[in-house]
């Protein structure tokens, strides 16, 4: 199984400041034939289901603000919120869909400082 490890578990950032969440996979999720990383980021607000923010490590879903930036390749990935807004308070999960069993990181709780 591919283990997804996120850090930190939580972080508090001032409004307008940058937040960065790291995600490391226990093996590469880069599929060489198509050069795509099978890595997604989800946002989950309290009492709501997860919502897909980024797929293929760096492709923002339609309607996702451009302050959400996904980067990385292979085994190391980062979700950056370039300027934190109040509505970004949530838990963020990384997720590999490279091979079953599909797995998620443990989540990172983002709060306002």
Partner 1 sequence: QVHLVQSGSELKKPGASVKVSCKASGYTFTDNGMSWVRQAPGQGLEWVGYISTNTGNPTYAQGFTGRFVFSLDTSINTAYLQITSLTPEDTAIYYCARIAVAGDLADHWGPGTPVTVSS
Residues that bind partner 1 (CB under 8 A): 1, 36, 38, 40, 42, 44, 48-52, 55, 61, 93, 95, 97, 100-107
**Smaller CB separation from partner 1, 44 or 82:** 44
Q: How far is the CB of 111 from partner 1 (least distance, A)?
A: 16
**Smaller CB separation from partner 1, 16 or 33:** 33
Round to whole Å and give the CA distance between 51 and 9: 19
Q: How far is the CB of 16 from partner 1 (least distance, A)?
A: 28
């Amino acid at each position: 199984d591919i283990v997804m490890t996120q850090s930190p578990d939580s972080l508090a950032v001032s409004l307008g400041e940058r937040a960065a969440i790291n995600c490391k996979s226990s093996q590469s999720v880069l599929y060489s034939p198509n050069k795509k990383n099978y890595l997604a980021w989800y946002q989950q607000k309290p009492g709501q289901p997860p919502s897909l923010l980024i797929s293929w490590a760096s492709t923002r879903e339609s309607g996702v603000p451009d302050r959400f930036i996904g980067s990385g390749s292979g085994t190391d990935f980062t979700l950056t919120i370039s300027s934190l807004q109040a509505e970004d308070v949530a838990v963020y999960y990384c997720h590999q869909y490279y091979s079953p069993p599909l797995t998620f990181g443990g989540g990172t709780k983002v709060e306002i400082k």
